[in-house]
Structure 1
Amino acid sequence: MYPAKGTVNLFTILKALIKLYINSYKGLSPAAWLLALVMLINRTGSMVIPFLGIYMSSELNFSKPQIGMVLGCFGLGSVCGSWLGGWLTDKFGNFKVQVWSQILVIPLFLVLPNFRTFEGLALMIFLLTLVADTFRPANSVSVARYAKPENITRAYSLNRMAVNLGFSIGPALGGFLATISYDWIFYGNAIAAGVAAVVFIYFFRNRKARTEPKEYKKEQFVEEGPVRNAYKDGLFIVFNILCCFFSMAFFQLLSTLPLYYKEAHQLLPDQIGLLLGFSGFVIVLFEMILVHVVEHRFSVRQIMLWGTAIAGVSYLMLPLDLGMTWLFLAMFMLSTGEMLSLPFMATVSISRASKSNQGAYMGFNSLAFAMANVFSAYLGTYIAEHYGYNTLWIGNGTVLMICAIGFYWIISKMNKEV
């Protein structure tokens, strides 16, 4: 007796998917997995940022312009931290920068609930982000140093998968803690940073990095000839400008989008946490498979074009009020665009650098994202306050569509230099 034909087909498809999922993780070094573990622990504490706007609105009664300015201080601290992290990484190495960043944010998270005035909170958010974001370029360099050259994009994807798994747990946990007290969100971040620091020191204090990555495919933009200066590299400057505009639109996810859920759809903190956590859950399930499938079948510029455009479509869906299912579908589209864009931005950046200035290149790329945070939250809250959320979402979608074309063009120009 044989199983039904539909059953066989379903079983075959399921078996193929499992095999593809396993293959997407093959070849990754043990160090890449350990870095992902550290990042998972660190990002499980990602409770403050998604709820910071809601915290200032509900708990501290700040106005929208005040919320935007505090979040702008978050971006300003990120700008300074990204530049400082890149410089410190090239000078002292990625290990020391990551250790001290994680250790020093602990007391800052613990004292943050005591600052409840606009001026005091703005200053503390700046200091917190300054210290926290020195971690980012150092961590990006460590991923490149420990990854096998042919697996560098997947190594970044694995690290991002850990980020998003933590981000799927963090907001859900943060939403639960917020129903008890917002103070516990800050304490949870401090605990996660401490545990991540201990794990990182234990596994990496004596671990040696691999040698400098070698060229393995044309679209890796590997440098041949004189060492470039990251801040004088014309094509890379244009690339980072596009990354800045991309993040100004994309990362409304962390500023105005939670406020939109609260004000336009009357969602509770735990529902908002579940919706934001869904994004991380989707990325954890599908990013490694998606990157594994597309990176050898399509060019980087094609992937960036479609990924950025899909993210734009997700925001263009929001003006249609079709209920909770529609919000989840829009978040799924946004997550898909993220999976097809962000890992390859890191790959372009690290591959453009030489070994001696990887920190500068990754710091400059982090700076592009951080610079957007200076303006994006304020602009987002200002547009939402004066013109409405629908205008904001249409503007976001349009900017991302323009960035999609821009990425395709600038990466084509980069390819001609190889």
Structure 2
Amino acid sequence: MKKLLSIYIGSFKGLSRSAWLLAIVMLINRMGSMVIPFLGIYMTQALNFNIKQVGLVLMCFGFGSVCGSYVGGWLTDRFGSFKVQLLSLTLAAPLFLITPYFRTVESLGIMIFILSAVFDAFRPANSVSVASYAKPENITRAFSLNRLAVNLGFSIGPAVGGFLAGISFNWIFYGNAMAAAVAAVVFFLFFYKKEKNNLKTLKTAPVTTTSQHKKERNPYKDSPFIIFNILCCIFSLCFFQLISTLPIFYREVHHLNEHEIGFLMGWSGLIIVLLEMFIVHIAENKLTITKTLVIGTLFCSISYAMFNIHAGVFMLYVTFFVFGIGEMLTLPFMATVTINRSTAKTQGAYMGFNSLAFSAANIFSPLLGTNIVGSFGFTTLWWATSAVLACTAVGFYFVLKRL
């Protein structure tokens, strides 16, 4: 027991102060994660949208995410990660406040597109910041620390959101706006001086010729990385059922209320908060990145098959535990593969392209999921998702040999 505790504590060592500060900002931001987990329920319960209309609006969320990821990466390489992150957080707050006033399929779809584009421009910029403040040997754990903050926030946000939605769905938008505003202020206070110092360093640094640099890669012409991103996109098509069809499954099949759904989704985040740094630390020392991604993807495949085992709410918690293990073994290492493939001048582009893979999945994941449910039911959706993830695990095995 002492040895395990020592390994757990050791998994946090070596991380920079800036990495911890970034995690704090992310925690505050994600504590307001109330809108997305309840968006499908909001549209069906408060706006009386049918399942296919829900899929269309969620598809707009995906299109916005694609645009935000691409533009966010492009802006990061040109203006720096600090400005992009601050602008994204600052603009997100008022956008969340006005979203409840858009109540038709068309107007809500447009608003969700804009909100998603602004919000997801933050992701590639934040990933570049995490990598820039981490030592090369600590990159995966730095990403894991950031995800730990995300999931700690996500374990709190949906739980609070469930209570607020019970009062009025409008309150989940107000709560998300407040969290984004507070995160923007804290981020500015933490990193403004550091940004000024970085700019001074760049101005006084000696100029080097391009011949002294490693040859720059273009992520959109990097064939092995493109294949890797396609697999990440397929993985994400399955993964994002978590926020599109799964809450509806809980409501319609298991008849859970908003409070119960919030606690169940919060449980997923809590698992990752407690175990991710520990599991990533062990995986880094005992497994290759290839084995880690393959095993993690297979865990996710198994968890989706388990949704077809109807054994009460307890089984849902067990399924989410298995899913959490898979998530911990995949997402941090995908970011590590991406940042290791990039060069100093293309980190924003590479992280933006990788974010693009996840964002593209946001377009098709809700549409595919809701249409499969509408035509064939939830059982077919879970078996199909499990099979696709198993095939993706095989794909990761072969493509990572080339990377």
Find 1:84's aligned residue among 48, 57, 71.
Answer: 71
Partner of 2:362: 373
Amino acid at match of 2:275: F
Kept in 2: contact 1:350–1:362 (CA 8 A):
yes
Amino acid at match of 1:407: F
CA–CA distance in structure 2, aligned partners of residues 267 and 17 of structure 1: 37
Structure 1 spans left out of the alignment, 5+ residues: 1-12, 212-223
CA–CA distance in structure 2, aligned partners of residues 101 and 294 of structure 1: 33
Partner of 1:128: 115
Partner of 2:10: 23
Partner of 2:136: 149
Partner of 1:302: 291
Amino acid at match of 1:387: F
CA–CA distance in structure 1, aligned partners of residues 104 and 402 of structure 2: 48
Find 1:179's aligned residue among 159, 163, 166.
Answer: 166
Partner of 2:275: 286
Partner of 2:207: none
CA–CA distance in structure 1, aligned partners of residues 282 and 363 of structure 2: 35
Spell out, residue by residue over 1:54-91, the C-alpha distance to the aligned partner (whole angstroms, 9 max, x if none): 00000000011100000000000000000000000001
Partner of 1:33: 20
Deviation, structure 1 residue 209: 6.3
Spell out, residue by residue over 1:119-153, the C-alpha distance to the aligned partner (whole angstroms, 9 max, x if none): 11000000000100100000000000011111000
Find 1:68's aligned residue among 55, 79, 83.
Answer: 55
CA–CA distance in structure 2, aligned partners of residues 368 and 29 of structure 1: 29
Deviation, structure 1 residue 16: 2.4
Partner of 1:10: none
Deviation, structure 1 residue 18: 2.1
Is the counterpart of residue 228 in structure 1 residue 195 in structure 2? no
CA–CA distance in structure 2, aligned partners of residues 42 and 296 of structure 1: 31
Partner of 1:403: 392
CA–CA distance in structure 2, aligned partners of residues 140 and 295 of structure 1: 19
Is the counterpart of residue 251 in structure 1 residue 240 in structure 2? yes
Partner of 1:56: 43
Kept in 2: contact 1:113–1:186 (CA 8 A):
yes
Partner of 2:336: 347
Deviation, structure 1 residue 225: 4.5
Amino acid at match of 1:114: Y
- RMSD of Structure 2 on Structure 1 (CA): 1.4
Spell out, residue by residue over 1:299-333, the C-alpha distance to the aligned partner (whole angstroms, 9 max, x if none): 00000000000000000011111111111111111
Scaled by the length of structure 2, the TM-score of the pair is: 0.95
CA–CA distance in structure 2, aligned partners of residues 191 and 19 of structure 1: 38
Is the counterpart of residue 317 in structure 1 residue 306 in structure 2? yes
Deviation, structure 1 residue 20: 1.6
Kept in 1: contact 2:296–2:328 (CA 8 A):
yes
Is the counterpart of residue 264 in structure 1 residue 253 in structure 2? yes
Q: What is the aligned residue count?
A: 390
CA–CA distance in structure 1, aligned partners of residues 172 and 318 of structure 2: 28
Deviation, structure 1 residue 226: 1.8
Deviation, structure 1 residue 17: 2.6
Amino acid at match of 1:78: S
CA–CA distance in structure 2, aligned partners of residues 396 and 101 of structure 1: 33
Partner of 1:204: 191
Partner of 1:216: none
Find 2:322's aligned residue among 333, 337, 341.
Answer: 333
Amino acid at match of 1:27: G
Is the counterpart of residue 164 in structure 1 residue 151 in structure 2? yes
Deviation, structure 1 residue 19: 1.5
SS at match of 1:296: helix
Spell out, residue by residue over 1:349-402, the C-alpha distance to the aligned partner (whole angstroms, 9 max, x if none): 011000001000000000000000101001100001110000000011011111
Kept in 2: contact 1:145–1:209 (CA 8 A):
no
CA–CA distance in structure 2, aligned partners of residues 17 and 120 of structure 1: 53
SS at match of 2:285: coil
CA–CA distance in structure 2, aligned partners of residues 209 and 389 of structure 1: 51
Amino acid at match of 2:326: G
CA–CA distance in structure 1, aligned partners of residues 143 and 106 of structure 2: 37
Deviation, structure 1 residue 347: 0.3
Kept in 2: contact 1:50–1:171 (CA 8 A):
yes
Kept in 2: contact 1:70–1:121 (CA 8 A):
yes
CA–CA distance in structure 1, aligned partners of residues 371 and 198 of structure 2: 46
Kept in 2: contact 1:146–1:209 (CA 8 A):
no
Amino acid at match of 2:146: N
Is the counterpart of residue 109 in structure 1 residue 109 in structure 2? no
Structure 2 spans left out of the alignment, 5+ residues: 202-212
Is the counterpart of residue 241 in structure 1 residue 265 in structure 2? no
CA–CA distance in structure 2, aligned partners of residues 333 and 198 of structure 1: 36
CA–CA distance in structure 1, aligned partners of residues 116 and 192 of structure 2: 25
Scaled by the length of structure 1, the TM-score of the pair is: 0.92
Amino acid at match of 2:184: A
